[in-house]
C-alpha cells in the first residue's frame, strides 16, 4: 500500500493506516523534539501533540508536498511553540548574536563534545534550530523552511551564520582544529 492510499484510509479513520503513518514518521519527529528540548517527557509530549494535530488536520493535506514535509512542518511549529514556553520560564534566551563570557578554557579534543554542547546551547535559537535540523538530523532546507515559515534561502543563511558562530566559539574558547594531513 502506498502513502496516498494510507492517507486516504487514515482520513476514513482506519486505525491500522494511522498507525502505519505514525510508525513511518515518529522516529524523526521524536528525534527532532528531543534534540531541541533535551527532555524525554517534553519530547514525548511534543511528539504526541504533533501527531494529534496532524491526524486532526489530515483532511486539509492537499498532497502538493510530501506528507513528510507537511508533518515535519507541524512538528517544527509544535516544538518551537513548546520551546517558547520553556524560554519564558527559564529566561535563558539572550536574543543577541554576542558570544557569552568564556568558561574555563579547555583545549583537549576529548572535551570537544563538552565545549560543543555549551556552544550549541548558547547559539541564538533561530540558528540553533536550523543547525540541529540540517547538520545533525539531516533535514533539507525546504523542510526546515516549511516548518519555520521562512524561505529556503533564509534557512541556508541561518545555517551559514550558525556554522560560523560555532567555529568562532570553539576557537575563542581554546579549541584547535587539527591541521589537514598534507600527504
Partner 1 sequence: MTGDRQDQHIADAARGYHEPPPTPRDRMWARIETARAEEQRHTPEPTTPGWQRRQVLWPAAVIAALVVGVTVGRIWNPMAPAERPQPSLVTYDDPSPAFTGNLATYRQAARPVLARSETLLLQVRTGTDLAATSENYCSRALGLLAQTRLLLGSPAAKDPELAPLLEDLELALARLVYLASGPAAAADPRRELNALEEGLERKAVLPRLRNQLNAGSTPVGL
| Site residues (vs partner 1, CB under 8 A) | 19, 22-23, 26-27, 30-31, 34-49, 51-53, 55-56, 78, 81-82, 85-86, 88-90, 112-113, 116-117, 120, 131-132, 135-136, 163, 166-167, 170, 177-180
Closest CA to 35 of 144, 108, 182, 167: 144
Pick 101 or 179: Cβ nearer partner 1: 179
DSSP 66: -
Q: Which is nearer to partner 1, 128 or 145 (CB)?
A: 128
Q: Cα–Cα distance between 63 and 50 in angstroms, integer?
A: 18
Confirm if 36 and 129 have CB atoms less than 8 A apart.
yes
Cell of 80: 518551537
Please identify, using beta-carbon distances, which residue of 4 and 92 lies nearer to partner 1. 92
Q: How far is the CB of 24 from partner 1 (least distance, A)?
A: 11
Smallest separation, CB 41 to partner 1 (Å): 6
Q: How far apart are CA 27 and CA 49, in angstroms?
A: 14
Total count of residues recorded for the chain: 183
Written as nine digits, the cell of 135 is 547538520
48 vs 68, beta carbon nearer partner 1: 48
Shortest spacing between CB 129 and partner 1, in angstroms = 12
* Least gap, CB of 98 to partner 1 (angstroms): 20
Q: DSSP labels for 98-140?
A: PPPPP-S----GGGHHHHHHHHHHHS-HHHHHHHIIIIIT---
What are the cell numbers at 103? Answer: 568558561
Tell me how far, at minimum, the Cβ of 65 lies from partner 1, in Å.
19
Among residues 50 and 145, whose Cβ is nearest to partner 1? Answer: 50
Amino acid at each position: 500500500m502506498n502513502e496516498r492510499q494510507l492517507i486516504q484510509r487514515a482520513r476514513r479513520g482506519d486505525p491500522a493506516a494511522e498507525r502505519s503513518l505514525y510508525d513511518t514518521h515518529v522516529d524523526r519527529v521524536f528525534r527532532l523534539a528531543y534534540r531541541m528540548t533535551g527532555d524525554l517527557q517534553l519530547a514525548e509530549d511534543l511528539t504526541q501533540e504533533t501527531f494529534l494535530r496532524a491526524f486532526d488536520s489530515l483532511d486539509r493535506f492537499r498532497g502538493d508536498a510530501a506528507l513528510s514535509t507537511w508533518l515535519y512542518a507541524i512538528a517544527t511549529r509544535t516544538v518551537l511553540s513548546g520551546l517558547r514556553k520553556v524560554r519564558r520560564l527559564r529566561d535563558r534566551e539572550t536574543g543577541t548574536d554576542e558570544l557569552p563570557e568564556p568558561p574555563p578554557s579547555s583545549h583537549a579534543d576529548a572535551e570537544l563534545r563538552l565545549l560543543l554542547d555549551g556552544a550549541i546551547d548558547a547559539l541564538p535559537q533561530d540558528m540553533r534550530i536550523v543547525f540541529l535540523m540540517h547538520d545533525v538530523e539531516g533535514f533539507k532546507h525546504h523542510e526546515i523552511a516549511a516548518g519555520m515559515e521562512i524561505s529556503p534561502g533564509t534557512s541556508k543563511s541561518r545555517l551559514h551564520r550558525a556554522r560560523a558562530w560555532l567555529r568562532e566559539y570553539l576557537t575563542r574558547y581554546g579549541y584547535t582544529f587539527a591541521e589537514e594531513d598534507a600527504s
